[in-house]
Amino acid sequence: MRVGIIGVGMTKFGELWEESYRDLVAEAGSKAISDAGIDGKNVDAGYVGSMSPGLFIGQEHVGSLVADYAGLIGIAATRVEAACASGGLALRQAYLSIKSGVNDIVVAGGVEKMTDVTVGQATVALAGAGDQEWEAFHGATFPSIYALMAQLHMREYGTTEEQLGMVAVKNHHNGAMNPNAQFQYEITLADVMKSSPVSTPLKLLDCSPISDGAAVVILASEKTCKKYTDNPIWVTG
């Protein structure tokens, strides 16, 4: 049995001061349900990927919160977390629940509200995705850990700072074409190279920002997909 995606919804990403965690979930979720053309009463379960809402917005147990606010009453709602892969893990769990035959239509989403705290508080929250005893306690923030990885890659493969910088150039190029992107403008390699140093060899424009936003997909079994669309996106890996 194949599993397909029949609906998607996404908010804008950025420093969304006027939007709450609930607002973001509701916007992305309602768009996904509308795109799929389903009734919320047909949803069997939901998986919410959210890295650290307890530290960012003081809210735990967001699976139930999201289900309640989205009007998905009575479904099995589960929060999952895997740092930057939290949304991807929600998709994986939704896929497995359908593939196993337990569920038929499942909502999977990722949501973060990261900009309502200070930079220091955000750093502490993000450090929770690392090893508190062996990394965070010794001052190893994620930019510094990634910088060590970059240095190792440069040493082993001859990678240059300019080559790393081209990743940021490419990402900004894509963002400039995406109305939901946090940064919708182009940058040059020269811009990257002269941006402020963060942790050698990484500079400001090499590093990702914190952001607010949400994305939701609706997954369904192969039989159910055919009821709603002639062209589902089949999950193949």
Query: What CATH number did the domain enclosing 9 receive?
Result: 3.40.47.10
Q: What is the pTM of this model?
A: 0.91
In angstroms, rounded to a whole number, what is the distance separating the alpha carbons of residues 76 and 67? 9
Task: Report whether 98 contacts 104 (CB < 8 A).
Answer: yes
84 catalytic per annotation = yes
- For residue 183, the enclosing domain spans 121-206
- What token pair was written down for 11? 């908010």
Confidence of residue 95 (pLDDT cuts 50, 70, 90): very high
Residue type for 188, please?
T
Number of domains in the chain: 2
Helix ranges restricted to H, 37-160: 53-56, 62-69, 86-99, 119-127, 142-157
Q: Does 51 lie in the same domain as 25? A: yes
Which of 76, 84, 140, 145 is catalytic? The answer is 84
pLDDT the model gives residue 73: 84
Q: Does 28 lie in the same domain as 127? A: no
Q: Does 106 lie in the same domain as 22? A: yes
- Note the pLDDT tens digit of each residue in 136-191: 899 898 999 999 999 999 999 999 999 999 999 999 999 999 999 999 999 999 99
In angstroms, rounded to a whole number, what is the distance separating the alpha carbons of residues 44 and 220? 10
Q: What is the DSSP letter of 204?
A: G
Q: Does 137 lie in the same domain as 51? A: no
Least Cα distance to 35 among 178, 215, 174, 182 occurs for 215
In angstroms, rounded to a whole number, what is the distance separating the alpha carbons of residues 235 and 227? 17
Q: Does 135 lie in the same domain as 26? A: no
Least Cα distance to 59 among 89, 25, 28 occurs for 25
